[in-house]
């Protein structure tokens, strides 16, 4: 088990003929992801060669899913067309299978496009959206596994720690920290740094709590909004597995956007201090420095009798 | 991206939302001509800067910092007063609660006809991240600081969420208008204004529209007396006119240049420059510097796929800040390869003949090659294995805690 994405999940790539799509699809194949083809409107019938293997390309997501029975899709489509790509995938998964996972990597999608796309996905309850503006999701296997996104695959190993984060590189940092204490990961999810996104912290915590492979969780937030506070309050009531947390942006000045569109302290709300406080209140063990995540996790595992 | 009040009012007018007549001016002669053309005995003389609290701000001479006048928004009752106020505002620096001590130089003025105010309200539209929809917020407590209203009398703030599929519905407009105590012609005028406002918000890709105050006139007409509008920068590709609306003098020059090269940079007040890949890691790097007793000089995210040239630009931007006494590079290579970063760092330090201490922490893809390249160089580069070690080293190298 893992969450949402099994090791052998069948994956489509939207935008597979583009520069970004082709590069990352190649990396995913190299890692061992079961890529079954791609979709680029206007280029149906063509093929793409990745790592010496040939993959079919379809015009539409409904054709692609019908032909491959794919479980998930990953989107590397430029911002002006990305929200439409999400909705096309949602429609096709819902219509043909009643379920599916959409991972949107694209950064820079207009917020109001995402308002529309998220509402569209939420009207199709079997369909899950991860992202946008995220590194994706990875379920490491014994050999290979399912890497759906842009994270460096080789830093991961199969294990029992679930990781959820708003940030890409901080997720990698957390992965490296688990490895430093000889722990692997069940599933790692980057939920993205945009103000309006699909899957949130609570969805991930609920899935990790229900997943038998996951025995402890690392949750990494950042300034802006109050998703971390809500997740912490929810975890206090519903999660029995140990959680270790970190929040980036304690030194960020108010009113300035820190790289991510959502990372902004507005009206004195959404500060790191507020979020750390909510974590502590919920019994989440906090690291004040991401290079301490490993040690804090180790202590939490010991306290829970897991080491 | 923020725009000025006078630009916002043009946009409102184009969207059939009632605003008082007004003229944008950049010198005193224009201000007087504006007064003559408006034909209103009473006018407002309003400083145009991208910051709130203008009315309660203070004007200072830009060089001597001598006090010039209290209040960046003035009501003038005669041509002479317009002349006096315009002279005192233009070319001087306005300091408000939102500008910081430095204040902002006022180069634009808006002369606006007076308005017969029966009541002042507050109205805002923004994207609510929790509900993932457009939120419309209104209050009877117009003209006040809305944060105070929210803290002291939250029951006076009324909200509706717009379903993106259904759009703004009739009952929502009625509910909001009636919550403000509007009726008859005023309620009707409010509903019409709200429809136009929501349509504009979506069509123009606004991030936030704040009208404070929104007023009801003696004739029961709803008029936008102020306008604070910002756009969602992600949507720039479909709004070619934003280039004309952008006031570059309101933005930090170096932040603009950083953006042009695909870097995300925010200047801070400390003395340790940081160069990091990824926004979250960049924030965490600043936090850890502070944790170990240093002060970060900047936020800088080089993004996922930076090349040698971008690394060089990043270094030169960091070094423009005279406060920088040391630099910490923190890279977790994913797509980005550590060997490429290492080469970029060496090329940049050589090209810029770097004199301040430099600590480099590399991890991830091709980390061993990256470290070898740095170790082989004759430059004074200190290596670190993790973020904590990197932060501790750079803090020690610049002379410990401040």
**What residues have CB less than 8 Å from B277, skipping those under 6 apart?**
A169, B301, B302, B303, B304, B306, B330, B331, B332, B333, B334, B336
| Cβ-defined contact of A251 to B147 (cutoff 8 Å) | no
pLDDT of B361 reads: 95
- Residue B254 pLDDT > 50, yes or no? yes
- Our CA angle for B387, B392, B395, nearest 5°, is 125
Please judge whether A248 and B284 are an interchain contact, meaning their C-beta atoms are less than 8 angstroms apart.
yes
Whole-angstrom Cα distance, residue A266 to residue B270?
A: 22
pLDDT digits (tens, 9 = 90+) for B153-175: 889 999 999 999 999 999 999 99
Q: Supply φ then ψ for residue A31, to 5 degrees.
A: -70, -30
Closest CB from B291, B304, B365 relative to A289:
B291
- The HSE-up count of residue A108 (CA atoms within 13 Å, CB side) is 14
Would you call B277 an interface residue with chain A, using a CB distance cutoff of 8 Å? yes
Whether the bond into B213 is cis, omega within 30 of 0: yes
Angle at B110 between CA B107 and CA B111, to 5 degrees: 135
Give the model's pLDDT for residue B402. Answer: 47
Distance CA(B399)–CA(B154), nearest Å, equals: 49
Active-site annotation holder among B6, B122, B198, B292: B122
Distance, in angstroms, between B20 CA and closest chain A CA? 29
pLDDT of B7 > 60? The answer is yes
pLDDT at A267: 67
**Pairs of CB atoms within 8 A across A/B:** 179
pLDDT in tens, B344-357: 899 988 888 888 99
The DSSP code for A290 is G
Q: Do B283 and A248 touch (CB under 8 A)?
A: yes
Q: Does A116 touch chain B (CB under 8 A)?
A: yes
Torsion of CA B180, B184, B189, B191, to 10 degrees: 60
Name the pTM for this structure. 0.93
Q: Which residue of B has its CA nearest to A117?
A: B164
CB contact set of B271 (below 8 Å; sequence gap of 6+):
B294, B295, B297, B323, B324, B325, B326, B398, B402
Give the pLDDT score at A150.
93
pLDDT in tens, B79-88: 999 999 999 9
- Indicate the angle between helix axes B28-38 and B79-89, nearest 10 degrees: 150
CB within 8 Å: A168 and B127: no
Q: Does residue B126 sit at the A interface (CB-CB below 8 Å)?
A: no
Low-confidence stretches of chain A (pLDDT < 70) are 1, 261, 267-268
Confirm or reject contact between B363 and chain A (CB < 8 A): yes
Q: What is the C-alpha separation between A46 and A56, in angstroms, rounded?
A: 6
| Mean pLDDT of the B110-115 span | 96
Determine the distance from the C-alpha atom of residue B299 to the mean position of all C-alpha atoms in its chain, rounded to a whole number.
Answer: 16
Q: Which of A152, A196, A268 sits opposite B364 (nearest CB)?
A: A152
From B112, B79, B78, B127, select the one nearest B10 (Cα to Cα): B112
| Residue B73: per-residue pLDDT | 96
Residues 6+ apart with CB under 8 A from A19: none
Measured between beta carbons, the chain B residues lying within 8 angstroms of A150 are 304, 334-335
Between residues 32 and 91 of chain A, which touch chain B (CB distance below 8 Å)? Answer: 79-80
Q: Does B388 touch chain A (CB under 8 A)?
A: yes
DSSP state of A252: P
Contact B132 A225 (CB under 8 A): no
B306 inside 8 A of chain A by CB: no
pLDDT at B89: 97
A172 has a chain B CB within 8 A of its CB: yes
Q: Where is pLDDT greater, at B259 or B192?
A: B192
Check CB contact under 8 Å for B232 and A110: yes
Q: Please tell me if residue B133 touches chain A, with a CB cutoff of 8 Å.
A: yes
**Residue A256 contacts by C-beta under 8 Å, 6 or more apart in sequence?**
A264, A265, B266, B299
Q: How confident is the prediction for chain B on average, in pLDDT?
A: 93
Q: Is A260 helix (H, G, I), strand (E, B) or coil?
A: coil
Tokens of A292: 């301490």
Q: Is the peptide bond before A132 cis (omega within 30 degrees of 0)?
A: yes
B254: how many CB neighbours lie within 10 A of its CB? Answer: 17
Minimum-distance CB partner of A150 among B98, B282, B335 = B335
Q: Residue A234 and residue A257: Cα distance in Å, rounded?
A: 27
Where do we find the tokens 């090209």? Answer: B351
Asked if A251 is an interface residue toward chain B (Cβ–Cβ < 8 A), one would say yes
pLDDT band at B400; cut points 50, 70, 90: low
| pLDDT band at residue B256 using 50, 70 and 90 as cut-offs | confident
pLDDT(B327) > 70: yes
Instruction: Give me the residue from A115, A176, A248 closest to B287, CB to CB.
Output: A248
- B83 as an active site residue: the answer is no
Chain B residues in contact with A121 by the CB 8 A cut-off are none
Catalytic residues of A: 260
Is B242 in the A-facing interface, judged by CB distances under 8 Å? no
Give every strand in the sheet of A158-165, ordered side by side: A145-149, A136-140, A185-190, A158-165, A216-222, A243-248, A285-286
> Which residue of chain B comes nearest to A225, CA vs CA?
B129
- Identify the band that residue B364 occupies on the pLDDT scale cut at 50, 70 and 90: confident
Strand A10-14 versus strand A34-39 pairing type: parallel
Average pLDDT over residues B252-272: 88
Identify the pLDDT of residue A247: 97
User: Does the pLDDT at position B288 exceed 70?
Assistant: yes
Is residue B401 pLDDT above 60, yes or no?
Answer: no
Phi then psi for residue B115, to 5 deg, are: -140, 140
* B contacts of A259 (beta carbons < 8 Å): 264, 278-279, 282-283, 299, 301
How does pLDDT run across B179-189, given as a tens digit for each residue?
999 999 999 99
Contact B71, B56 (CB under 8 A): yes
State which residue of chain A sits closest to B277, comparing Cα positions. Answer: A169
Question: In this predicted model, what pLDDT tens digit does every residue of A85-137 receive, in sequence order?
Answer: 999 999 999 999 999 999 999 999 999 999 999 999 999 999 999 999 999 99
């Amino acid at each position: 088990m893992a969450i949402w994405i099994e090791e052998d999940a069948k994956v489509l790539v939207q935008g597979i003929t583009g520069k970004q799509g082709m590069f990352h699809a190649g990396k995913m194949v190299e890692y061992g992801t079961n890529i079954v083809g791609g979709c680029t409107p206007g280029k149906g019938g063509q093929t793409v060669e990745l790592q010496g293997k040939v993959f079919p390309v379809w015009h539409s997501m409904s054709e692609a899913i019908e032909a491959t029975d794919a479980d998930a899709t990953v989107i590397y489509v430029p911002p002006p067309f990305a929200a439409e790509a999400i909705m096309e995938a949602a429609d096709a998964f819902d219509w043909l299978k009643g379920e599916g996972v959409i991972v949107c990597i694209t950064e820079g999608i207009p917020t109001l496009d995402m308002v529309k796309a998220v509402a569209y996905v939420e009207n199709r309850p079997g369909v899950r959206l991860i992202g946008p503006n995220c590194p994706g999701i990875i379920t490491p296997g014994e050999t290979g596994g399912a890497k759906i996104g842009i994270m460096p695959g080789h830093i991961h190993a199969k294990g029992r720690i679930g990781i959820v984060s708003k940030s890409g590189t901080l997720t990698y940092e957390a992965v490296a920290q688990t490895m430093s204490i000889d722990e692997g990961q069940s599933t790692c999810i980057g939920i993205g740094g945009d103000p309006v996104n699909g899957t949130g912290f609570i969805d991930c915590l609920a899935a990790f709590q229900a997943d038998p492979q996951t025995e402890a969780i690392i949750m990494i937030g950042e300034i802006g909004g109050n998703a971390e506070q809500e997740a912490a309050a929810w975890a206090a009531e519903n999660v029995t597995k140990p959680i270790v947390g970190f929040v980036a942006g304690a030194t960020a000045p108010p009113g300035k956007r820190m790289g991510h569109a959502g990372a902004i302290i507005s009206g004195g709300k959404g500060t790191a201090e507020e979020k750390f406080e909510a974590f502590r209140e919920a019994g989440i063990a906090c690291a004040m420095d991401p290079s301490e995540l490993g040690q804090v996790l180790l202590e939490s595992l010991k306290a829970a009798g897991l080491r | 991206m923020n725009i000025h009040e006078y630009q916002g009012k043009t946009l409102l007018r184009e969207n059939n939302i009632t605003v008082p007549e007004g003229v944008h001016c950049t010198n005193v002669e224009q201000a007087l001509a504006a007064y003559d053309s408006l034909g209103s005995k009473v006018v407002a003389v309003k400083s145009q800067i991208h910051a709130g609290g203008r009315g309660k701000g203070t004007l200072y001479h830009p060089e001597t910092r001598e006090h010039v006048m209290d209040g960046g928004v003035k009501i003038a009752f005669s041509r002479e007063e317009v002349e006096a106020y315009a002279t005192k505002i233009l070319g001087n620096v306005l300091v408000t609660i939102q500008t910081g001590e430095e204040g902002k130089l006022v180069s634009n003025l808006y002369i606006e006809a007076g308005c017969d105010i029966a009541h002042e309200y507050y109205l805002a539209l923004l994207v609510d991240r929790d509900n993932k929809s457009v939120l419309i917020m209104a209050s009877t407590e117009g003209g006040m600081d809305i944060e105070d209203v929210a803290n002291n009398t939250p029951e006076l703030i009324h909200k509706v969420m717009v379903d993106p599929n259904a759009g703004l519905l009739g009952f929502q407009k009625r509910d909001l208008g009636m919550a403000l105590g509007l009726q008859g012609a005023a309620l009707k005028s409010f509903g019409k204004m709200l429809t136009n406002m929501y349509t504009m918000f979506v069509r123009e890709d606004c991030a936030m529209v704040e009208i404070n105050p929104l007023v009801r006139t003696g004739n029961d007409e709803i008029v936008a007396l102020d306008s604070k509008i910002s756009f969602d920068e992600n949507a720039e590709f479909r709004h070619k006119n934003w280039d004309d609306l952008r006031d570059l003098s309101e933005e930090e020059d170096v932040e603009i240049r950083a953006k042009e090269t695909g870097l995300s940079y925010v200047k801070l007040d400390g003395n340790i420059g940081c160069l990091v890949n990824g926004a979250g890691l960049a924030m965490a790097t600043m936090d850890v510097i502070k944790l170990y007793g240093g002060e970060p000089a900047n936020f800088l995210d080089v993004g996922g796929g930076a090349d040698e040239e971008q690394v060089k630009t990043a270094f030169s931007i960091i070094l423009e800040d005279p406060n920088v006494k040391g630099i910490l590079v923190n890279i977790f290579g994913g797509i980005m390869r550590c060997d490429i970063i290492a080469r970029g760092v060496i090329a940049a330090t050589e090209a810029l003949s770097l004199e301040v201490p430099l600590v480099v922490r590399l991890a991830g893809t091709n980390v061993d090659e990256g470290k070898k390249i740095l170790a082989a160089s004759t430059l004074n580069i200190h290596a670190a294995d993790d973020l904590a070690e990197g932060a501790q080293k750079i803090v020690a190298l610049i002379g410990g805690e401040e």
